[in-house]
Structure 1
């Protein structure tokens, strides 16, 4: 197992890029906000590329299986929390999504690390896709809204696309699906979760 393999390095790069993305997005300067979009896209590309490298060159490791999905959730959770602070989405929905995603991701990652992978439902995959679509959607049009040259030409269109009611309903649907898939995940994998908990307790007592 190579902890410092290229895919793992890309995973940790994605984690390091998260605070950079936040600083740029929350900046009061339009140019820095534009850079936040570039940083987020680059971080997302590293997610695809490290997975491809791991499969193509046999760099699949337990550390990678643990940290890769965790890095993804750190990035997406940071984006949603930033949107809440900017008033683009409701904070209570974001917290439900973030808490659920972190809990389930840690459980999944730990199960992968222990060699007991658990299944991800099609609905959960749909949820993840919908989250990413909304995150990119909001980021793209928020940056456009805060870029003077674009906002002056397309202000009406941007305002329509950032309609609060539309975003609220979309977030409400995603929040509901996120919460529901989390509950289903725990029930469907309860036996594995219990085994992991018991094995970790046994290991702790043996120390």
Structure 2
């Protein structure tokens, strides 16, 4: 069995980081004994610790992709797990933020639904040997979603208006990028003869 390469290790590390990120973010105000023992004296910094973990996990996505392409370390495992790790990280963060009352569930449902639709589309396209390139709308959407999540994790009251504006931009870009994706790739859903 071949050893796992560095980009794939970074992808696995990103998935592992979801656990402490969620435990720290959701532990505030909990009755967990271990949580109070570790964070009891620094409760006001817990959101920033969770934010640091989220940013570190997000950065592994940039790093693993660059390394995989630069050193020709692209694998089937990486092609499957890398986008899955991204979706798990962002979805976990969004669901936790709903639990904390920092974002409405309907916003999260739209964002996660878009990811399911695109993933299904990519599966059909791959089955038909069609490669679907990422669009600029999708890249803008990702940037605004990540900024939105970071701002909501940080939970700075003085920036609430800015956070709300970023959320609305992210939501609009989520819908626009989905529509753009479906229109550009509508032939993928046609039955092959």
Specify the TM-score bucket, using the shorter chain as the normaliser.
Answer: 0.7 to 0.9
Alpha-carbon separation, structure 2, partners of 1:16 and 1:113 = 30
Tell whether the 8 Å contact from 1:70 to 1:102 is kept in structure 2 after alignment: no
Tell whether the 8 Å contact from 1:17 to 1:39 is kept in structure 2 after alignment: yes
Tell whether the 8 Å contact from 1:89 to 1:167 is kept in structure 2 after alignment: no
* Residues 62-94 of structure 1: per-residue CA shift (max 9 Å, x gap): 331222122112111211221122111211111
Alpha-carbon separation, structure 1, partners of 2:84 and 2:126 = 12
Counterpart check, 1:119 vs 2:133 = yes
TM-score (ref. length: structure 2): 0.78
TM-aligned CA deviation for residue 161 of structure 1? 0.9
1:1-207 superposed matches below 5 A: 4-28=4-28, 29=39, 30=43, 32-105=46-119, 107-108=121-122, 111=125, 116-140=130-154, 142=155, 158-163=156-161, 166-194=162-190
1:201 is aligned to none
Tell whether the 8 Å contact from 2:11 to 2:60 is kept in structure 1 after alignment: yes
TM-aligned CA deviation for residue 47 of structure 1? 1.0
2:34 is aligned to none
* Residues 122-160 of structure 1: per-residue CA shift (max 9 Å, x gap): 1221111111111222223x2xxxxxxxxxxxxxxx422
* Residues 87-106 of structure 1: per-residue CA shift (max 9 Å, x gap): 11211111110121233145
Cα RMSD between the aligned structures?
2.7
Alpha-carbon separation, structure 2, partners of 1:43 and 1:64 = 16
Structure 1 regions of 5+ residues with no counterpart?
143-157, 199-207
Cα distance change of structure 1 residues 80 and 3 upon mapping to structure 2, 3 Å threshold: farther
Cα distance change of structure 1 residues 174 and 34 upon mapping to structure 2, 3 Å threshold: closer
TM-score (ref. length: structure 1): 0.73
How many residues in Structure 1 have an aligned counterpart in Structure 2?
A: 178
Alpha-carbon separation, structure 2, partners of 1:194 and 1:125 = 26
Structure 2 regions of 5+ residues with no counterpart?
29-38
Report the secondary structure of 2:27's partner residue: coil
